[in-house]
Chain A
Amino acid sequence: GAVVSQHPSWVICKSGTSVKIECRSLDFQATTMFWYRQFPKQSLMLMATSNEGSKATYEQGVEKDKFLINHASLTLSTLTVTSAHPEDSSFYICSARDSLKHEQFFGPGTRLTVL
């Protein structure tokens, strides 16, 4: 399958700081990327849909000013968690859909811990 990379794989930060996570599709173009959050033993919760060259679409209950998404190219989307707090600690996973197909592939995830 196609390859999606995500960086960093884990991060620990102090409360109040901002954290930036990168998601890249390595061998295909992705006009649409998705950002999920996953708590232990739970399903994937879609946070927002990121479209190349346009504003992201946020799911209900997700603060767009807190979770900043940028999709500047067909292979890169970034999620910035601003003013992170302990309740933001979670596993964040990006996903990219091949522009030519239905298939959606996931990045390896970023484990965020806010102290």
Chain B
Amino acid sequence: GENVEQHPSTLSVQEGDSAVIKCTYSDSASNYFPWYKQELGKRPQLIIDIRSNVGEKKDQRIAVTLNKTAKHFSLHITETQPEDSAVYFCAVLLPSGSRLTFGEGTQLTVNP
């Protein structure tokens, strides 16, 4: 099955700095790559996603880049704010699969 690795497991940045979280996957057939943000005790929320036919996607301060050759994709958050503090999960979907495979999560802390 698909194997997803996410790094780092924890990330602490100063307000205003950028944060980057990276995920690698094993199956080159994977074609959908969402990122979720989960605040403590709440549901994971889809914040951005990218499909395999696109190399980069941006939504305000959040961007995702995909390198299909190297089989990795990254979440970029610019001008971080304290409210960005949360756990972020990457996920991968195979075209033949019915379920997402999640990374282990990254605890992001933005210090004021």
Contacts and interface: CB of A to CB of B under 8 A. Distances in A.
Interface of A: 1, 32, 34, 41-44, 46, 49, 91, 93, 102-109, 111
Contacts, number: 44
**Chain B contact residues: helix, strand, loop or mixed:** strand
B32 A43 contact: no
Given A44-B89, A93-B44, 15 more contacts: A1-B46, A42-B104, A43-B103, A43-B104, A43-B105, A44-B44, A46-B99, A49-B99, A93-B43, A102-B93, A103-B46, A104-B100, A106-B44, A109-B43, A111-B41
A39 to B, nearest CB: 12
Interface residues of B, number: 21
B61 interface: no
Contact of A43 (B46, B51, B98, B102): B102
